[in-house]
Structure 1
Amino acid sequence: MLAVNRSGPAFRLGAILAAVTLLTSACAVAPGMRMETSRMQKSRGNANPTGAADQAGVAAEAEKVDATPGTPDIEITEVDANLISRLARIDAQQQVEIAQLLSGAPQTYAVGVGDVLQIVVWDHPEIAAAIGPTQSQSSSRSSDPLAGFVVDQNGNLTFPYAGTLHVEGLRTDEIQRRLSAALAKYFVKPQVTVRMASFRAHQVYVDGEVHNAGAFAVNDVPMSLYEAIARAGGFSETADQSDLVLVRGGQSHRLNLTQLVAHGVSPSRLYLKADDMLRVVSRDENDVYVMGEVNKPISAIPRRTGRITLADALAQAGSVNASTADAAQMFVIRGSLSGSPQVFHLDGRSPVAMLLAKDFDLRPKDVVYVDGSGLVRFNRVLSLLMPLINTGLTAGVIAK
C-alpha cells in the first residue's frame, strides 16, 4: 500500500483546489437569491386569490420554485397580454360588485336623539312660547342647537297638550300626523307644521388623507361619497384615490375611485349612511418594494390615482443595472402574508416586454425582484473565497 503524505505542501494545495472546485460548482444556486424554476403542468385548480370566478385561468402556464425541502411549491405565472387582461377584468368586476352593494336609493332622513324640531301650531301663538326666546345668529355658537324642541336621550318629544311622544326613527311628516292627532283632543282641526331646525343625531366620519378630517352631520339631503370628501376639504397631496375604506355595519369595503370612474360608475351615486366611516389611505401605505439588481433599491410610491405599474416601479428604482442584472429574470412576489403567495415572471430581454411591464399593475406591498446574471453571482462567490485561497497558498509556501 502506498503511503500518502497528508502534511506535505502538495497535498495541502491539492485539498485547497478541491475545496474551491466543490464550492464554485454550487455557486449557481447559492448567491443572489436566484429563483431557479422548473416546468410543471398547467394549474387550473379552484384556488381563487382575488375572489372572482374569472381568476381560474390566471394560473395557466405556471412554474414552481425549487427551494429548500421545507419550502412549499409556489406557482410562477408568466406575464403576458392575456394575464394582464384577465387581472384588469377581475379588478373591475370587483369594484362594480362593491358599488352595487353600497349603492341604492337614498333613505329619507329619520329623526334621532339630539335633533331639534321646529313645530308651529297655526292660530295658537301661545304654544310658541314653550320653546323659549329665539337665538340670534350673531350670538349663537356653532355647537349650540337652534331654538326648538329637542328629542331627548330616550327618543321622546315633549310638546304642550300632546304630552310625550316617541319620535325616534320617524320622518317629520309622520311626527306631524301624530301631533295633529294628539292636539285634536284640545283644538278643532289643528294645523301643525313640523320641520328640522338642527341636524345633530346622525353623523358620518371622514378620516385619513383629507384636508379637514372629522365628523359631519347627515341632513335631509342624502350625502354622497363625493360630498363627504368635499366636506372634508378634498383629497390631500398624499392621498391614494384608488384606496378608500368604507366601514359600514362592522364590515370594511375598499373602493377604487379611479376604476369606478373609468368604468362609468359615478361615486356621486354612492350614498353614505349614518355612522359610516370613510378613510382615505395614504400612498405611503400602498408602496411596493423594488430590490435585486437595480440601480437604486427603493420603496416605490403609487401616483395620486393610486396606480403603479411594473414599469413605474423599475423607473423609480433607476431601472435595472445593465452590468449585473439578468433581464430575463424579473419577478413580482405578491400576497406573502395572505397564506397564498403568487409569483409572476417577466422575461425583459426584449424591448417589447416593457410594453407588458407598462400595463402590469402592481398591488400594495408587492415585491419586485430583479435577479443577477450567472457571471455576477460567480464573481461574488469567488470574491468571498479568494481570502481563503490566498491564506491556504500562503500557508503552503511557508510550510514548504
Structure 2
Amino acid sequence: MTALSFSRVGDGFGVTSGRSWARRIGKIAVIGAVVLVSACGLPRSGPSKKEIFSGSVEKGGSSHIITVDDRVNRAANFSPAYGFGADFQRAGQVGADEVRPGDVLGLSIWENVDDGLLASMGASSTQLQELQVDSQGYIFVPYAGRVLAAGNSPDELRRIITQKLETQTPDPQVMVTRVAGDGATVSVMGKVNAQGVYPIERPTRSLSSMLSRAGGVSIEPEVSVVTVKRGNASGKVWLRDLYSNSRNDIALRPGDIILVEEDQRSFTALGALGGQTKVPLGNESINAIEAVAMVGGLSTTLADPKGVFVLRDEPQSVARAVLGRNDVYGTQRMAYVLDLTKPDGMFMARDFVIRDSDTVYVTEAPFVQWQKTLQSILGTASDVGTTSRTFE
C-alpha cells in the first residue's frame, strides 16, 4: 500500500506519493549539508597557509612571515654553540702535589738518638697520621709548632718541618705523605657510572681524565653534554667535542662541579607530515630537509609543498638581520616559509638550519579541504538516501 500525503495545489489539496516526498526531503538535506559543512568547517591538521599569512605583522598580527632566500639563510643560521670561555681554557693545571686547606697529611719522623723528642721508648720513629690542614692552611707538629702547609708541595713541607725540628733534635729525618682529603677535590654527578667527590691527583687533573675516574658516562656519547660549574661561571661542551678538541679538555680547579646530562634540545613536527612528534636534535646540525625526512617526509595525500613553515622566536639581533631593520626590539615571532616545489626552494631548505624549540609545520594542500567537503556532502547525501528508502 502506497503512503499518501497532502499538498496544497491552488485553492485545494493534491495527493503526493511518499516516494516523491522523500526525494524532496533528500534534496533539501543535501543543500543543508553543503551549508552546514561550509559553516562549521572540517577536521584538519592545523591552520592553512592563507590563515597563517593573515596573522602577519603587516595585517595586524604578531608574526613576521619571511620567505627564505639566500640572504635570510645567512642571517638566520645562527646557532648557539657549546664551549668553554677563555677563563676556563687559560686556567693552568693544579699542581698534583700542592697542599691545600682541607687536605689530610701523614708525617713520619725519625730521630738520630735513643731517647728522642717524639719517639716512644725503644722506638726510632714517630708516625703522625691524618693531620688535616685547617681552613687557614696550617697544621700543628709537636715541637715544630704551627706550620703553614698550604701552597707547598709535600717535599717543600718536609724541608720546612725538618728545619724547625733540627733545633730540637739532632739530624731529624721527615717524610710527608698526602692523603686524599676534601681540599683539592671536584664533584662529579649526573649521567656517570660512579658519582662522587674525587681528589685532583696527578692522573686526574683534566676534565676527560676525571670523567674516566668516575667510570665514564652512562648514556649514549652522541647525546652527552658535559657542564662544568666554577664559582659563578659555567661552560658546557659535547662529550664528543671534548675528546676531539684538546682545547675543550680544560684543567680542573678545586671546587669544580662536573655535571653530565642528556641533551634536551629538540624540535616539534606538526601538520601534513608522515608523523607529528617531538624530535631530539642530538649533537648534529640538522637542516629543514633533514627535519622533514626524520618524521617520514611530506604526506603525499595531504601536504602542500609550497606551505612548509619553520616557526621560532628570534632574538633581537637575529631578527634585525633577517628583517633588515633596526626598529624592532626584543624577541620576535618569525614564520619562515619554504617552497619545495622549486629547485631553489629545495636548496634553501637544505641550507636552513633547525634550532632548539623550532616548530616545523606543513600546511594541507588547498584541494584537500575541498575533497573533505565533497566526501562529507556525499556521505550526508548517502545517509539521506538511506533514510528516504525507509519511507518507500
User: How far off its partner does 1:267 sit?
Assistant: 1.5
Residue in structure 2 matched with residue 233 of structure 1 by the alignment:
215
Counterparts of residues 248-397 of structure 1 (less than 5 Å): 248-256=230-238, 266-268=247-249, 270-283=250-263, 285-303=264-282, 305-335=283-313, 340-380=332-372
Q: Within 1, Cα distance between the matches of 2:312 and 2:242?
A: 24
2:53–2:65: 8 Å Cα contact kept in structure 1? no
2:106–2:177: 8 Å Cα contact kept in structure 1? yes
Change (3 A) 1:21 1:336: farther
Counterparts of residues 125-164 of structure 1 (less than 5 Å): 129-131=125-127, 147-152=129-134, 156-164=138-146
For 2:306, what is the secondary structure of its paired residue? strand
One-letter code aligned to 1:299 = K
> Does 1:171 find its partner at 2:152?
yes
Residue in structure 2 matched with residue 100 of structure 1 by the alignment:
86
Q: Within 2, Cα distance between the matches of 1:310 and 1:387?
A: 38
Give the count of matched residue pairs: 344
User: How far off its partner does 1:99 sit?
Assistant: 3.2
Q: Within 2, Cα distance between the matches of 1:248 and 1:381?
A: 62
Q: Within 2, Cα distance between the matches of 1:158 and 1:333?
A: 66
1:206 pairs with one of 188, 203, 215:
188
User: How far off its partner does 1:259 sit?
Assistant: 6.5
Alpha-carbon displacement from aligned partner over 1:86-130 (angstroms, at most 9, x marks no partner): 5556645xx56x432421131534534442224466766965844
Change (3 A) 1:220 1:251: same
Change (3 A) 1:248 1:12: farther
One-letter code aligned to 2:47 = M
Change (3 A) 1:202 1:37: same
2:94–2:205: 8 Å Cα contact kept in structure 1? no
Alpha-carbon displacement from aligned partner over 1:171-216 (angstroms, at most 9, x marks no partner): 3377557646644653689776655343542332333344444333
TM-score, normalising length: structure 1: 0.64
Change (3 A) 1:227 1:397: same
Greater Rg, structure 1 or structure 2? Answer: 2
Alpha-carbon displacement from aligned partner over 1:301-359 (angstroms, at most 9, x marks no partner): 334x4444333332221111112101111122234999654433322223554444444
Residue in structure 2 matched with residue 117 of structure 1 by the alignment:
105
Change (3 A) 1:279 1:343: farther
User: How far off its partner does 1:79 sit?
Assistant: 3.7
User: How far off its partner does 1:289 sit?
Assistant: 1.9
One-letter code aligned to 1:310 = A
One-letter code aligned to 1:368 = V
1:108–1:171: 8 Å Cα contact kept in structure 2? no
Residue in structure 2 matched with residue 74 of structure 1 by the alignment:
63
1:210–1:239: 8 Å Cα contact kept in structure 2? no
Alpha-carbon displacement from aligned partner over 1:143-176 (angstroms, at most 9, x marks no partner): xxxx553325775412121223454x53337755
Q: Within 2, Cα distance between the matches of 1:79 and 1:223?
A: 48
User: How far off its partner does 1:265 sit?
Assistant: 6.3
Change (3 A) 1:333 1:233: farther
One-letter code aligned to 1:24 = S
Q: Within 1, Cα distance between the matches of 2:66 and 2:43?
A: 21
Q: Within 1, Cα distance between the matches of 2:165 and 2:377?
A: 99
Q: Within 2, Cα distance between the matches of 1:339 and 1:392?
A: 54
Q: Within 2, Cα distance between the matches of 1:65 and 1:256?
A: 41
Residue in structure 2 matched with residue 143 of structure 1 by the alignment:
none
Unaligned stretches of 5+ residues in structure 1: 1-8, 41-62, 133-146
For 1:321, what is the secondary structure of its paired residue? coil
Higher relative contact order (CA 8 A, sep 6+): 2
User: How far off its partner does 1:251 sit?
Assistant: 4.3
Alpha-carbon displacement from aligned partner over 1:211-269 (angstroms, at most 9, x marks no partner): 4443332225673232233333334453445743332224443334666888x66322x
Q: Within 2, Cα distance between the matches of 1:84 and 1:234?
A: 39
Identity of aligned residues (%): 23
Counterparts of residues 11-50 of structure 1 (less than 5 Å): 17=31, 20=34, 24=38, 32-35=46-49, 36=51, 38=53
1:209–1:238: 8 Å Cα contact kept in structure 2? no
One-letter code aligned to 1:215 = V
User: How far off its partner does 1:292 sit?
Assistant: 1.1
Q: CA RMSD in A?
A: 4.7
Q: Which moved more, 1:103-112 or 1:12-21?
A: 12-21
For 2:254, what is the secondary structure of its paired residue? coil
For 2:369, what is the secondary structure of its paired residue? helix
Structure (1/2) with the larger strand percentage: 2
One-letter code aligned to 2:90 = G
